[in-house]
Each structure stands twice: as structure tokens, then as C-alpha cells.
Structure 1
């Protein structure tokens, strides 16, 4: 089990030695204690951000602790870094310097692979939009797909259903695009209209656009030979 150390949001002192405010603390039965009083004072802090360095430092350290901080907006604890032994961190840094070029080439290959995957997925998402909404202008379908499937965005295109091109998920992405681009929805939110009220007020107009897009465009007549 990983040891957990907290990064407090406000000034807190150690209940045992009274030292404070503490940058990091351990809670024992809800009581805050500093790292020294918790036999962790010999550890050094390694911020998150370098996966290879973190992995190697944790592996080489006989004692380590995960540092977390509470995110008020998301209402959850989020990882900030790691506490490890100083010698383990030094060895990890040396190992990372030794193979930095190899890892850089690997990251570059991974970036190119992800970019190719994203291009293919966005095209597939746009094609599914046009299958469900054949009247949607192709350029709009492409723009909606690119927005919904942006990697790391957390939007519907990156959910499991979106990745599977589930028709319901694709329809959600199209509806959201119409809501934001074809109505005054954003202006209503800026005017402090509650979200649920703004959506209800605009639902009929959005449905009308989607119903139009569900109808295939008329086929162009081929000129007859004279």
C-alpha cells in the first residue's frame, strides 16, 4: 500500500512538535504530523511530470510516499508528486540522463502514431455524423468531429461510447455543436440563465436543425445531352 502525504491548502502545524505551517503532512487518526515526526523527514520531493524519472525513483527507493492535494473545483484529491529517498532520486536522474536520446525518439514515434490515429478517428467520426445526418454540411461534420474527438479534451468523442462511434454519442456531439453555434445558448449562460433552463428554451430550435440534417440533400440533376 502506498503511503499518502498531504499538501495542505491552508497553514497547518504539526500536532506533535508544533512546527508549521507545513508544506507536507501526514494524518494519523485525523491528526496532522510533520514528516520528521512521521519518520519521513529524510525523503525529498519529486514533482509529477516526468514519468520515467518518477518510475525509476520510486523503484529505487525503499520508502516512498504519494503527495496529494485537494482540488476544490473537482472535489477530489489529485496527485502532485512523490517523496523518495535522496539517493534513489540521484540514481534515477543519472539513468534518465543516460538514455534521454533513446526516450526522446520513442516519444516522437508515439506522438506521430497518436497523430495518425487521431486523424483516422476524426475522419471516421465525421463519416458517422454524415451517415446519421446526411443533410449536415460536410465541412460542419468535419468541424464537429474535430472538436468532439480532440485528445485529452474529455468531450463525448473521447468517451468509450464515442470511441466506439455509438450513434447516441455521435448525436450528442452534433446536438452540442448546434446548441453552441446555431443558437444564443452561450449568451444565455453569460446572462446567468440556468443551464437546464437555457437548454429547455432552445430545444425546439435545435431539434428543427437536426431534423433538417436527418434528411438527405436533394440529388443534383445531371444535364441531359442535347
Structure 2
């Protein structure tokens, strides 16, 4: 049978208990639309465990016969967000002891997981770099590396972290290269700083971007491999 934990609210404005009339309340439950303090709700013996330590939270919840979820309303996001748990004090003590006992083992496990993620992320970056150079063979290799690293940065939400980017979709890879050229090889950023609307700025620099991309697609530029032609548009 699924457990249904009580929900405790941290009120944003001053509230008093509808039964004992104590207040203002730091935390309360809501019964039939009325605020009730934790003592009257038979939750006053529980202690607060703030969210953040996943292992401690899980163990304290498992050890506690009675526990409650603590939430607070976020007005900006218009939703309730979890702040932590209320658990039995003895359960929290047992959970803390268990976490302390295997601190080293959990640290080693986190290190192994981080290493595996780093290897996986490096593979994503290298695959993206290779595809960039395949599509743009005249691009300098260091520039391809720079674009691949930027586009595949973890947590960035950029092209390299999308499904299309990981699948090395031609359009996604080209979009990453195009974005790099826009910011590095054209006065696009300077135009934005002068107050030019984004769409107008993109239109202005579009010919320069296409010139650079065509050059990188075509092959070596004489003796200096990968150097784009001088368009005269890059800011000093």
C-alpha cells in the first residue's frame, strides 16, 4: 500500500492555529481550509531536516515511523516547493550515524560516477569535433575543438547536449558552427551593444557568416590552412 505523508506548509504570512490560537506559526498543516499548528496536529515531536543531502533524507525517512513533507509557496513560480522533511529525532540520529559510517564509501562511489561521466562527456565532445571537421574540412582544428567544447558543455542546454547534437545531426552541428562564427568572426556582439535589434543584427552579419562557412567547407586556403578570408567586418 502506498504511503501518503502529511504535508506541512511554511506560511508566507502570519497565521494562528485555529484550535489553540497560538501564533505566528512557523509551520502548519491545513485542515478543512484552516491552519493547525504542529502540536495540535500531533506532529510537534518531529524535527526538521532541510533538503539537500539525498542519502540522509532517504535514510531518515526510512527510519521514521511518522514523517511529513514540508513545502513553501513560491509566488514567482506559482507553485509549492519542497523544503525538507519532518522526521522523528531518533530516526534522524540513526540516519546520521549510518551516513557517517559509510562516508568514505559514498565519496568513492561519487568519484567513480564523476569519472564515468567525464569520460562519456569527453566522448561526446570528441565525436562532435570530428563531425565539425568532416563538414568543414578547412576549419582550423583548434577552432573545431573550441566549438565542440562550448557546444557540448554539461548543463548548458546547447546543441551538443541535445538529442540532435548527440546524434551528430548535420543541421545541429552546422548551427553550432554558425553560432560561433556569428560571435567570433562578425561584429554581431558589437551591434547588439549599440542597441541594434537582434533580428536586424543577424541579417547584417549573415553574408559574412556564409562567406566563412563556404570557405571552411571548400578546403585549404592556399598556404594558410583554415584561415577565413579577410571580410573586413571583424571589430578591432
- The TM-score bracket by the shorter chain reads 0.7 to 0.9
CA 1:77/1:171 → structure 2, altered by over 3 Å: closer, same or farther?
Answer: farther
The Cα RMSD (Å) is: 3.3
TM-superposed CA distance for 1:14, in Å, is 4.7
- Residue of 155, 165, 182 corresponding to 1:162: 165
What's the secondary structure of 2:209's corresponding residue? helix
CA distance in 2, matches of 1:188, 1:28: 58
CA 1:150/1:77 → structure 2, altered by over 3 Å: closer, same or farther?
Answer: farther
Q: Check whether the contact 2:74–2:80 (CA below 8 A) recurs between aligned residues.
A: yes
TM-superposed CA distance for 1:168, in Å, is 2.3
- Residue of 122, 125, 136 corresponding to 1:119: 122
Report the equivalent of 1:63: 67
TM-superposed CA distance for 1:4, in Å, is 5.1
Q: What is the TM-score of this pair, normalised by structure 1?
A: 0.75
Report the equivalent of 1:224: none
Q: Report the structure number with the largest CA radius of gyration.
A: 2
CA distance in 1, matches of 2:116, 2:42: 45
Q: Are 2:54 and 1:51 equivalent residues in the alignment?
A: yes
Q: Are 2:156 and 1:153 equivalent residues in the alignment?
A: yes
Q: Check whether the contact 1:69–1:80 (CA below 8 A) recurs between aligned residues.
A: no
Q: Deviations over 1:18-73 (max 9, x none)?
A: 73374x5656687766555655444433233322112212223332315355384x
Superposition pairs of residues 79-158 of structure 1, within 5 angstroms: 79-158=82-161
TM-superposed CA distance for 1:205, in Å, is 2.9
Q: Deviations over 1:110-159 (max 9, x none)?
A: 12222222222211111111122222221111011111111222222222
Which shows bigger deviation, 43-52 or 102-111? Answer: 43-52
Q: Are 2:189 and 1:177 equivalent residues in the alignment?
A: no
**Number of residue-to-residue matches in the alignment:** 217
Report the equivalent of 1:13: 15
Q: Check whether the contact 2:25–2:37 (CA below 8 A) recurs between aligned residues.
A: no
Report the equivalent of 2:227: none
Q: Deviations over 1:69-88 (max 9, x none)?
A: 5384x776654433333332
CA 1:43/1:219 → structure 2, altered by over 3 Å: closer, same or farther?
Answer: farther
What are structure 1's unaligned runs of at least 5 residues?
221-226
Q: What is the TM-score of this pair, normalised by structure 2?
A: 0.72
TM-superposed CA distance for 1:179, in Å, is 2.3
CA distance in 2, matches of 1:126, 1:19: 62
CA distance in 1, matches of 2:75, 2:215: 43
